[in-house]
Amino acid sequence: MKNQLFILCLACFVASCQKTQESNFKDEALSIIPEPVNIDLKPGYFTIRNNTAIYWEGEGLEAVAQYFNTRIEPAMGFSLSIKKGTGRGINLTLLDIEDELLGDEGYRLTVTPRNIEIVANQGNGVFYGIQTMLQMLPAEIKSNSLKKDVEWKIRSAEILDKPRFKWRGLMLDVSRHFFTKEEVKQYIDQLSEYKMNIFHWHLTDDQGWRIEIQNLPLLTEKGAWRAKRVGQWWTRTPRQDGEPADYGGYYSHDDIREIVQYAKDRFVEIVPEIDIPGHALAAIVAYPEISCTQTVTDINVGNPFYRIDENTMCAGNDLTFDYLDKIFTEVAMLFPFEYVHIGGDEVYKGFWQRCPKCRARMKNEGLSDTYELQSFFIKRVETILQAKNRKLIGWDEILEGGLAPSATVMSWRGMAGGIEAAKAGHEVIMTPNNHTYLDLYQGEPSVEPDTYSMCRLTDSYHFEPVPDGIDADLILGGQGNLWTESVPHFRHAEYMTWPRGWALAEVFWTPAERKNWTHFVKKTEDHFIRADFGGINYARSMYNAIITPFYDENSPMQIKLDTEIDGLDIFYTFDNTHPDLYSPRYEHVLSIPKDATWLKVITYRDEEPVGKMIRLRIDELKKRR
């Protein structure tokens, strides 16, 4: 009887332990960005060892298996064998019968202690499953050097996942500062790891022409190079007589083909942008005959020039369109994606108004103003692109004067342009600057590199691309845009992109109801660790205090302090000393002591400093009113 009672108690104890273990497993959250549609955690782990095999079944999956090998080998110190078929190990499979629930880009990932299985309708779905699996491995997997004594375990789970939007991208401006072929590849690598599928490549602007056009060689011989400058944008000195123009560069046809294939291997489409008719100073310097005045001789270096030096192609000259046909012939040959971006933004029309050829064009075409002349220009370019089986995208200014019949609008000046285009039945890509412009400040300006305006991590994360009352089917998705006037090198491009790019990845992939800011912050901190192992730069601006001066009707300036994330304590001083854990802690709105010169602020968490020391003169703070 005692033995039976002992066995019964033991069985109850084991069952209780199993339930407790399962409960603990259920409570353990995964740090996957973007958040999957559904995660069902299970007990146990799958461990990758040097005898683990990758099995593949389906066209193109052998390359995906090899991609996985290249990602894990530097840290693990070994490659996995790759075999066609199925077996015990890691299985990558394309479904014979399509699973409608997964759509074109979805996947199912099943991890048990014995096997891993990723199934999808198409290869990109398997690739995205690989990205999720990589994020489930220890953070050291991002390292490019061997990491010993790490157990390469993946948590058991069943994950069902697919994207909310089909357009999920980042834009990199390589005109203001040239980025090398290898740096462009790194950027594509980084965005693809977060299931983004669009790389918008801003190749031309006033400060440089970056794509070789063999039929117009001066575009790169002259247009790709400018005088070197540092310092604040729009305060620089123009190129001086005799000064060399040797700062810049361009991508040859071979470079572009290599990058296009590199992106294709990661299921990323490249959208080239040739910015016209404005933002064309580099092209006009190379071929002045396509301008109205033919007076510009130097590439802009970041000095003031708008409305002074012509940067707009002549809309009245047929030679302009002949040259554009040559340009887009080579662009279409190099870039297989169906979309080409033509800019169309910030077109100064003053030179058109004074140009005899432009005035004659307006008269002959029955155009009432220069806005209609711009519409004529865009529609004619659309015809050129359609002849090459390409679709036109433009910034929302292409709405002015009448939208080209089949154009897709990229809405950057808020959402209004996108709403107008969608109501007219046009497809829209939402990129409003207050949510998606990655060149803006992401925290307290006094401790950030110089730029303008503000787009915090919260602004990016809380972006909703589909406005109320708009047909969601017309909103293709969105992207983050990194303009590089104040981004002189690749390390800073990374700093400006991450973690806001992670936030946007979740906006464009994850169902709105699955998003959770508090959980995203925790995931972001985990991905900071991964970025450290990967040598990737990023901003920790979310930890810095937010300082807001304000005035009541009948009182002097007061100061409100806040934080972007929860769980931080704010300490401050007005007495010129550095605040720390023992300084006054912010509890309520601050009044400024008489004759105070400085406000200094720092954030702590768990009695450790996490934010930067912010030091502001009171007189400078008053100017923020």
Q: List, for residues 435-478, the tens digit of each pLDDT value.
A: 999 999 999 999 999 999 999 999 999 999 999 999 999 999 99
Do 140 and 194 fall within a single domain? no
Q: Does residue 376 lie in a domain region?
A: yes
Write the CATH number for 454.
3.20.20.80
Per-residue confidence band for 497, with pLDDT thresholds at 50, 70 and 90: very high
Query: Angle between the 253-264 and 318-334 helix axes, to the nearest 10 degrees?
Result: 50
Q: Tell me the average pLDDT across 389-402.
A: 97
Last residue of a domain, one of 116, 145, 161: 161
Alpha-carbon distance of 113 to 131, in angstroms, equals: 19
Do 463 and 585 fall within a single domain? no
Do 112 and 250 fall within a single domain? no
Q: Does residue 348 lie in a domain region?
A: yes
Do 207 and 324 fall within a single domain? yes
Closest by CA position to 105, among listed 466, 509, 514, 515 = 509
Query: What average pLDDT does the structure give for the chain?
Result: 95
Per-residue confidence band for 87, with pLDDT thresholds at 50, 70 and 90: very high
Per-residue confidence band for 48, with pLDDT thresholds at 50, 70 and 90: very high
Do 225 and 84 fall within a single domain? no
Of the candidates 28, 221, 289, 346, the residue annotated as catalytic is 346
Q: Which residue shows structure tokens 């290898």?
A: 182
- Identify whether 205 is a catalytic site residue: yes
Expressed as residue numbers, the domain containing 141 is: 22-161
Do 305 and 379 fall within a single domain? yes
- Structural domain tally of the chain? 3
Last residue of a domain, one of 488, 505, 536: 536
pLDDT digits (tens, 9 = 90+) for 66-80: 999 999 999 999 999
Closest by CA position to 515, among listed 585, 452, 465, 456 = 465
pLDDT of 10 reads 44
Beta strands in 48-184 (DSSP E): 53-57, 81-84, 90-94, 107-111, 116-120, 153-161, 167-173
Percent of the chain's residues with pLDDT above 70: 96
- With beta carbons less than 8 A apart as the criterion, state whether 277 and 377 touch: yes
Do 556 and 445 fall within a single domain? no
- With beta carbons less than 8 A apart as the criterion, state whether 428 and 445 touch: no
pLDDT of 124 reads 98
Does 3 score more than 90 pLDDT? no
Of the candidates 161, 205, 212, 298, the residue annotated as catalytic is 205
pLDDT digits (tens, 9 = 90+) for 254-308: 999 999 999 999 999 999 999 999 999 999 999 999 999 999 999 999 999 888 9
Per-residue confidence band for 596, with pLDDT thresholds at 50, 70 and 90: very high
Does 62 score more than 90 pLDDT? yes
Alpha helices in 355-464 (DSSP H): 356-365, 370-386, 416-423, 433-436, 457-461
Tokens of 622: 């008053």
Does 316 score more than 90 pLDDT? yes
Do 511 and 428 fall within a single domain? yes
Q: Does residue 7 lie in a domain region?
A: no
Does 488 score more than 60 pLDDT? yes
Per-residue confidence band for 143, with pLDDT thresholds at 50, 70 and 90: very high
Per-residue confidence band for 14, with pLDDT thresholds at 50, 70 and 90: very low
Write the CATH number for 146.
3.30.379.10
Q: Tell me the average pLDDT across 215-230.
A: 98
Q: Does residue 463 lie in a domain region?
A: yes
Alpha-carbon distance of 412 to 429, in angstroms, equals: 9
pLDDT of 555 reads 79
Last residue of a domain, one of 133, 161, 189: 161
Residues 6+ apart with CB under 8 A from 293: 310, 351, 355
Does 187 score more than 80 pLDDT? yes
Per-residue confidence band for 29, with pLDDT thresholds at 50, 70 and 90: confident
Do 583 and 461 fall within a single domain? no
pLDDT of 620 reads 93
Residue 567 burial by Cβ neighbours in a 10 Å radius (0-12, 13-18, 19+): exposed
pLDDT of 364 reads 97
Does 339 score more than 80 pLDDT? yes
Does 611 score more than 90 pLDDT? yes
pLDDT of 396 reads 97
Alpha-carbon distance of 202 to 393, in angstroms, equals: 13
Do 248 and 135 fall within a single domain? no
Q: Does residue 13 lie in a domain region?
A: no
Alpha-carbon distance of 5 to 497, in angstroms, equals: 63
Backbone angles phi, psi at 74, to 5 degrees: -60, -40
Do 187 and 232 fall within a single domain? yes
Type of residue found at 475: I
Percent of the chain's residues with pLDDT above 90: 93
Q: Does residue 349 lie in a domain region?
A: yes
CA distances to 341, 377, 385, 466 from 437, rounded to whole Å, are 17, 27, 28, 18
Neighbours of 122 (CB within 10 A): 20
CA distances to 69, 233, 441 from 486, rounded to whole Å, are 37, 7, 11
Residues 6+ apart with CB under 8 A from 614: 444, 446, 447, 544, 545, 547, 599, 600, 601, 602
pTM, full prediction? 0.95
Alpha-carbon distance of 624 to 473, in angstroms, equals: 41
Alpha-carbon distance of 302 to 553, in angstroms, equals: 42
Do 466 and 577 fall within a single domain? no
pLDDT of 24 reads 42
Q: Which residue shows structure tokens 């959208």?
A: 271
Q: Does residue 14 lie in a domain region?
A: no
Alpha-carbon distance of 176 to 271, in angstroms, equals: 18
| Complete edge-to-edge strand list for the sheet that includes strand 153-161 | 38-47, 153-161, 107-111, 116-120, 90-94, 53-57, 81-84
Residues paired with residue 158 on neighbouring β-strands, in sequence order: 40, 110
Of 27-41, 139-153, 381-395, 524-538, minimum mean pLDDT range: 27-41
Q: Tell me the average pLDDT across 198-208.
A: 98
Write the CATH number for 584.
2.60.40
pLDDT digits (tens, 9 = 90+) for 350-380: 999 999 999 999 999 999 999 999 999 999 9
Does 590 score more than 70 pLDDT? yes
CA distances to 159, 514, 544, 609, 612 from 582, rounded to whole Å, are 47, 40, 18, 12, 17
Q: Does residue 361 lie in a domain region?
A: yes
